[in-house]
Amino acid sequence: MAREAVGTGVLRKGRVDWDDAPGFTDQLKFLKDGAVVVRVTLATARAVRAVKLNRYYFGHVLRLIAESNGDDVDDLHAFMCARFLKRRVVVVNTHNGECEEVEIVDRSSTLSGDEFWEFVLKVRLFAAEFFGVETQDPDPTWRDREGEAA
């Protein structure tokens, strides 16, 4: 079950004009009933794009996969990170020359915007090939609007 809902928009004269009010409302339906804290944070255009890409990945791509096979979205995310973000690390004991090699999984939160987008593209391709789940493209112009004011 989701732990948070994130919406983006523009604050004008004390009022938020939501980018996707129905989508934000849909996110709220995945939260348990209970007390909440609502915080409005002024953000750069780059930060808003990162939120939108995260929402696209978790709310569209992973959600479609989860709905198709009954898996949990968080488990699917961990699986995708293990599949696409793993790397080998060798640690050397400089006192005796002994080496230890392990495979570690990076967290998607450490990726740059472009790296995260490449990760999402790999997940989408895997979803289509392995699960037979086709995902829609996000707004095709989102990457072109870098200079837009948030």
CATH of the domain at 129: 1.10.3790
Q: Helix and strand tally (H, E) in the chain?
A: 5, 4
Q: What is the pLDDT of residue 86?
A: 95
103 in any annotated domain: yes
**Which residue shows structure tokens 């490449």?**
118
- Residue 4, in any domain of the structure: no
Q: Residue 65 corresponds to which amino acid?
A: I
Range of the domain at 78: 9-145
8 Å CB contact between 76 and 62: yes
Check residues 122 and 28 and name the one with the higher pLDDT. 122
CB 8 within 8 A of CB 19: yes
Q: Is 117 contained in some domain? A: yes
2 part of a folded domain: no
Query: Is pLDDT above 90 for 64?
Result: yes
Asked whether the predicted pLDDT for residue 146 surpasses 50, the reply is no
Q: Is there a domain that residue 86 lies in?
A: yes
Residue 45 counted as domain residue: yes
In a domain, 3, yes or no: no
Residue-level pLDDT at 149: 42
Residue 19 burial class via C-beta count within 10 angstroms: exposed 0-12, middle 13-18, buried 19 and up: middle
Position 1 in a domain: no
Banded pLDDT at 139 (limits 50, 70, 90): low
Q: How many domains does the chain have?
A: 1
